[in-house]
Amino acid sequence: MTEPLANWTLFRLLACLAIVIVPHFQSLPVWASVLVSVMLVWRGLVAIFHWRMPSVWVRGTLAIAAFIALFLSYGRMNSQEAGAGLLVVMVAFKLTEMVKVRDCSLVLMLSYFILITHFLASQEIVTAVYVFGSVILVTALLLEISHPQGPLSARITLRHASVLVAQAVPLMLLMFVLFPRIPGPLWGIPHEESRGRTGLSNSMEPGSISKLGLSDEVALRVTFLDERPKPSQRYWRGPSFWTFDGKGWHPGNETQQASATRIAPEGMAIRQEIMLEPHKHNWLIALDLPVEGPPGSTHDNAHQLISDKPVLERKLYQVTSYTDYRYQPELSPDLRARALQLPGFGNKRLRELAQQWRQSEPTDRDIVNAALRMFNSEDFFYTLEPPLLSNTSGMDDFLFNTRRGFCEHYASAFTLLMRAAGIPARVVTGYQGGEYNEAGNYFIVRQSDAHAWSEVWLQGDGWVRIDPTAAVAPERIESGLAAALSEGEASTVPGSSNIYLIYQLEAYWDWTNAVWNRSILAYGPELQQRFLERFGIRDWYQMTLVLTISVVGFLAILGGILLWQARKQIADDPVVREWGRFCSILARHKLPRLPHEGPRDFAQRATRARPDLAPEITRISGLYVKLRYSDTDFDIENLRRLKHAVRRFKP
């Protein structure tokens, strides 16, 4: 391992290292990506033109400067991105002193660690395939530099590396299925950039949801275990907001309390299996109205599903919902006060309009209908690009001036109108609709499906969902976002392509990702427990016991197979066969070869014991050593001589 590094091996190493590192360029600072690229090219030029390597002082100074630059770029060094960046940059600096095969071996070992860090940023299928292929490349190069008789061909090393990796797959599967899972993402470290993929937040302001209309990121995938609800019933309930501060909506301080509200279902229950993307909050998304959530979840006072832990990784769960119901027919004084809260300033014209309805309309239901008629009959427009509104009286500006808005504008204005008219109301956010995937028989709900609506409390009916967007743009509810927008805006909405082949390919690719997410990425503690209970494994003790037995058994079987193959190779070796016949002859004459004795030591002991046989013993052992351990090509003539000498050997 101390011999100089051949140029051909070096060039293969640089190419392999580039493949391993390049995906990190999208997260590294620009200067770091440029630096790593320059180091790779420079090391190749050093080998070609025989330039001098930098001194220890130069290398040390550059390494310290790079560390300081990384610290300034990330602001700290204890984050995932900073740690991965430091590893990549320092491996690149290792090239400045890589002149021996031993240095090459160290760089390859560090390459395995770099490959692991890719899973900190993504655990998708593409990443897994890329890492798997890169592991084979690194292993092949490691085999090449470890071969004592010089480099092997790429075909041979790739074949042997593939066999080695394939042999590890069964053990990997055993560890994946049986090793006790811990809650949370990879290694229990949440990713700093894992933003709430659902696109929902703990507040809602005008424009906050319209920004999501162009995002095609998946929020959740839903498989209906019963009859599918109609498009107009596909409301996916998320955070609810009670408090308005004059500009935006906030949840208030009661939403984390468990709800004791009464629900009277009307109609059939609808069970769903939901794969929710991570969003770092405690809420769970479910078809409105969820009545039975997964273990570890409760309902708040707006009947939103709340998980006992933040959703830091993909979560698979089942929910039972009713789309027809009577919900909370009696409202407590505290919640009534919260649902009627208005700031003491702003939106004067909105308040006056609500008071006019209160005086002219006989019932609360008539006031609701008056507001919906206004949105439906007057010149209101549904758009992804609403104009900016006044900071102090934004809803006045929207209702009486711009009249152009997205779902959050209509939900906010409607809720304020109801409160100003004395009707308890709140804003609910979530999703509406979803795209059916025929390949997997499930619905895809994307960020672009994010939606906001209102709930009003009516005497005798309880909380009733009112969606003012449906009055302005009913196409949004029945046919999706693109159908409700102008032609120019609709073309920018994800999934608006009319090319059937592209649509089918996207559907099958999403189905493949859904299977991967369900089977691999969502295999957390709960799913592991449910899966292993089918085989009678119910606790960590049994899990660890079965894991230990399985791993030991697998290694024993693999070891037995390798020993059998080695024994078969030895048995088929004519040189070993003749040597064994020779040792058997001496053993019958009370000179057995001891287990620890090599051929030369055995020959010396045998000649001391039988000086009369010394010439024959020395000749046979010498031929065996030459045939068995020589670096030269196999000599057929010497094998013939060995066979002849053993046949004539008769003590």
Measured between alpha carbons, how far is 521 from 512 in angstroms, rounded to an integer? Answer: 13
Note whether 368 and 459 are within 8 A (CB). no
- 315: part of which helix (H) or strand (E)? strand 315-321
451 is catalytic: yes
Residue 131, both tokens: 């890492």
104 is catalytic: no
What is the secondary structure of 426-466 as a DSSP string?
EEEEEEE--EEETTTTEEEEEGGGEEEEEEEEETTTEEEEE
Phi, then psi, of 304 in degrees rounded to 5: -85, 140
**Which bin fits 75, alpha (ψ -120 to 50), beta or left (φ > 0)?**
left
Q: What is the largest CA-CA distance in the chain?
A: 131
Among candidates 409, 390, 515, which has minimal Cα distance to 452? 409
> From the candidates 300, 449, 467, 510, which is the catalytic residue?
467
What is the secondary structure of 560-627 as a DSSP string?
HHHHHHHHHHHHT-HHHHHHHHHHHHHHHTT-PPPTT--HHHHHHHHHHH-GGGHHHHHHHHHHHHHH
Measured between alpha carbons, how far is 295 from 158 in angstroms, rounded to an integer? Answer: 48
> From the candidates 407, 449, 510, 583, which is the catalytic residue?
407
> From the candidates 104, 303, 451, 510, which is the catalytic residue?
451
Measured between alpha carbons, how far is 416 from 472 in angstroms, rounded to an integer? Answer: 17
Among candidates 303, 302, 330, which has minimal Cα distance to 319? 303
Note whether 314 and 522 are within 8 A (CB). yes
Residue 255, both tokens: 């939403």
Phi, then psi, of 293 in degrees rounded to 5: -100, 180
What single-letter amino acid sits at 433? G
Q: Which residues carry out catalysis?
A: 407, 451, 467
